[in-house]
């Protein structure tokens, strides 16, 4: 009888350990996805800022695009200045949008 109780207790401990381990694995998987999204956002911010600087200098920022991140740029002429909205896309989904403006004819 005592051996059966020890066996049942051991099974319960293994079950609790398995549940805790599966919960930890799920958390690690979510953390990895979050880290990938954060890295992609960081890269998108740098890409948008560099594109804004190239636009202000009068150059084409299309050369900045990577295989994964794509630039979508909308420019607008305002009196005495220009304005651009730069959107960085990943798999056709917007990751980051930056609106910038600069004086017409240089800084």
Q: Give per-residue pLDDT as tens, 5-14.
A: 889 999 999 9
User: Across residues 21-31, what is the average pLDDT?
Assistant: 94
Question: Is 39 a residue whose pLDDT tops 80?
Answer: yes
Chain centre distance of CA 97: 12
For the purposes of burial, counting CB atoms within 10 Å of the CB of 85, is it exposed (0-12), middle (13-18) or buried (19 or more)? middle
Q: Regarding beta strands 93-103 and 69-78, do their DSSP bridges make them parallel or antiparallel, or are they unpaired?
A: unpaired
Q: How far is Cα 98 from Cα 47, in angstroms, rounded to an integer?
A: 10
Query: Is residue 80 very low, low, confident or very high in pLDDT (cuts 50, 70, 90)?
Result: confident
Is residue 69 a contact partner of residue 89, using CB atoms and an 8 Å limit? yes
Among 81, 86, 4, 6, which Cα is nearest to 47's? 86
């Amino acid at each position: 009888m005592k051996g059966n109780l020890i066996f049942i207790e051991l099974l319960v401990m293994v079950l609790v350990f398995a549940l805790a381990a599966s919960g930890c694995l799920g958390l690690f998987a979510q953390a990895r996805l979050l880290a990938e999204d954060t890295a992609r956002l960081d890269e998108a911010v740098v890409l948008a800022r560099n594109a804004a600087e190239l636009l202000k200098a009068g150059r084409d920022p299309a050369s900045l695009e990577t295989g994964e991140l794509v630039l979508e740029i909308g420019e607008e002429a305002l009196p005495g200045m220009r304005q651009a909205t730069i959107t960085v896309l990943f798999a056709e989904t917007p990751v980051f949008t930056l609106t910038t403006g600069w004086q017409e004819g240089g800084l």
